[in-house]
Amino acid sequence: MVGRDGPGAVAARFTGRATAGERLLGPALSEVALDDGRVVVVKRGHAPGAVPAEAAGLRWLGGAGAVRVPAVLGDDAWWLVIERVAEGRPDAAAAVRFGRDLAALHAAGAPAFGAAPPGGPEDAYIGLAPLRNVRGADWSAWYAEHRVLPYLRRAVDAGTLRPAEAAVVERVCERLPERAGPAEPPARLHGDLWNGNVLWGTDGEVRLIDPAAHGGHRETDLAMLRLFGCPQLDRVMEGYEEVAPLADGWPERVGLHQLFPLLVHTVLFGRGYADQALAVARTTLAA
């Protein structure tokens, strides 16, 4: 049970302020105006553990002092209240700063690949799909076992991918050790870094929302930005590489890192993403 609270009552409970109005943004998302002039965003979790994972992720990312995130104003098992971000237009200078800050966020590190944020549950979510934060010492083995294969199996079980097609992705997993590039320490990842989770503020600062935060390989965040498009991406990469140059050969590894989000989208949205995942897998094998 989510309880009888609505977004306005939740905002009042967590902020200690009376509310002056609310506006529905989506099925589980609202803006609520407070009597002190602030506007907050209230989100209702879709499943047990979703809000605790998101709140812990926001705090962990914000704790790096790098890319900004909206302040968490309150949370419980089902509800999250955060500050609203006034959105502006992407520009080149903000993109370069975002790239530098994203490099600093990744460099803040994580205890292990798959490590959950402090206080965050092992069983989390990426969008509406379950995401297990299980620790591993070797990135290639961990990525195959906990980021690629679980979604591949679900897609086969649902009939979205045929077993013969799944074998192509399995071959990529077998070849991961030779294709992964130089070993890197676990990075502090946003984990669901598509353009919709990158907010360009009117103050010229980027803020990240809706994380699926965990310890991982920094190229995974960057590959997701590239997969779903990001304004001023060349400028973002320029700023990133000023601070933390990527290992040689990273462009050839982009598809390998995109397998994870593509298979998640296959599970959530169907065959179109399965075709993209297969194309990426075949290109990776042919490289």
Q: Is 198 helix (H, G, I), strand (E, B) or coil?
A: strand
CATH code, 86-287: 3.90.1200.10
Give the C-alpha separation, 163 to 161, whole Å: 7
Integer-rounded Cα radius of gyration of the chain = 19
Of the listed 192, 203, 221, 234, which one is catalytic? 192
Nearest to 261 by CA among 127, 103, 123, 124: 127
- Is 192 one of the catalytic residues? yes
Nearest to 247 by CA among 218, 226, 271, 223: 218
Residues of the chain under the 70 pLDDT cut: 1-4
Instruction: Write down the pTM of the prediction.
Output: 0.95
pLDDT given for residue 111 in this prediction: 98
pLDDT given for residue 2 in this prediction: 44
Q: What does DSSP assign to residue 136?
A: B
> How many whole angstroms from its chain centre is CA 148?
15
**In this structure, what token pair is assigned to residue 139?**
């990135």
Nearest to 231 by CA among 87, 59, 105, 60: 87
pLDDT given for residue 3 in this prediction: 46
pLDDT given for residue 233 in this prediction: 97
pLDDT given for residue 1 in this prediction: 36
pLDDT given for residue 4 in this prediction: 59
